[in-house]
């Protein structure tokens, strides 16, 4: 059996980073992926929910944002839940195993803020600013 999804698209908004009660990072974002269309039709896109776990979730939250181009490699997961009115619903999402950042921030854009791994001894949560040339990947 095979469950593999590979997508390339742009983030519709900044990733939302949270932590489980056990302290595991999880980030969620939506990817807009263009559909192939006949030449005489307007562009259409699918909006696909992506879930990223652990260190990669933190990297996504720190280094990418709305409009950035990424490639996601993962698996499709369908889950069921009861909404606020007790109606059974299904949600499809891609559980990302690998997220590749495919573009750079625009020139003159805002700098990224993230805890820099080389400054861990400066105190938890200390933030520094740096530009896209400093990003290690």
pLDDT at residue 133 greater than cutoff 50: no
Catalogue the long-range contacts made by 44-47 (C-beta closer than 8 Å, 24 or more residues apart): 45/9, 47/12
pLDDT at residue 104 greater than cutoff 80: no
Residues 6+ apart with CB under 8 A from 60: 15, 17, 27, 29, 52, 99
Mean pLDDT, to the nearest integer, of 52-63? 95
pLDDT of residue 86: 93
pLDDT at residue 137 greater than cutoff 50: no
Minimum mean pLDDT range among 43-47, 55-59, 129-133: 129-133
Residue written as tokens 């807009």?
A: 32
CATH superfamily entry for domain 5-103: Nucleic acid-binding proteins (2.40.50.140)
- Name the residue ranges covered by the structural domains of the chain: 5-103, 112-137
pTM above 0.75, yes or no: no
- Average pLDDT over the chain, rounded to whole? 80
pLDDT at residue 121 greater than cutoff 60: no
pLDDT at residue 2 greater than cutoff 80: yes
E strands present in the chain: 5-11, 16-19, 25-35, 44-53, 69-82, 88-101, 112-114, 128-130
pLDDT of residue 38: 65
Mean pLDDT, to the nearest integer, of 59-69? 94
* 3-state secondary structure at position 48: strand
The Cα 94–Cα 75 span in angstroms is 5
Q: What is the pLDDT of residues 7-45, one digit of tens each?
A: 999 999 999 999 999 999 999 999 999 987 767 777 889
């Amino acid at each position: 059996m095979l469950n593999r999804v590979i997508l390339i698209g742009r983030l519709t908004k900044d990733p939302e980073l949270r932590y489980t009660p056990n302290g595991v990072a999880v980030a969620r974002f939506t990817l807009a992926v263009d559909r192939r269309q006949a030449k005489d039709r307007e562009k259409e896109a699918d909006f696909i929910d992506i879930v990223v776990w652990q260190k990669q979730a933190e990297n996504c939250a720190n280094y990418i944002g709305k409009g950035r181009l990424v490639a996601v490699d993962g698996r499709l997961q369908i889950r069921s839940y009861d909404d606020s009115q007790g109606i059974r619903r299904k949600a499809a999402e891609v559980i990302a195993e690998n997220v590749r950042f495919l573009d750079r921030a625009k020139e003159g854009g805002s700098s990224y803020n993230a805890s820099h791994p080389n400054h861990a001894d400066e105190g938890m949560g200390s933030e520094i600013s740096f530009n896209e040339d400093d990003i290690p990947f």
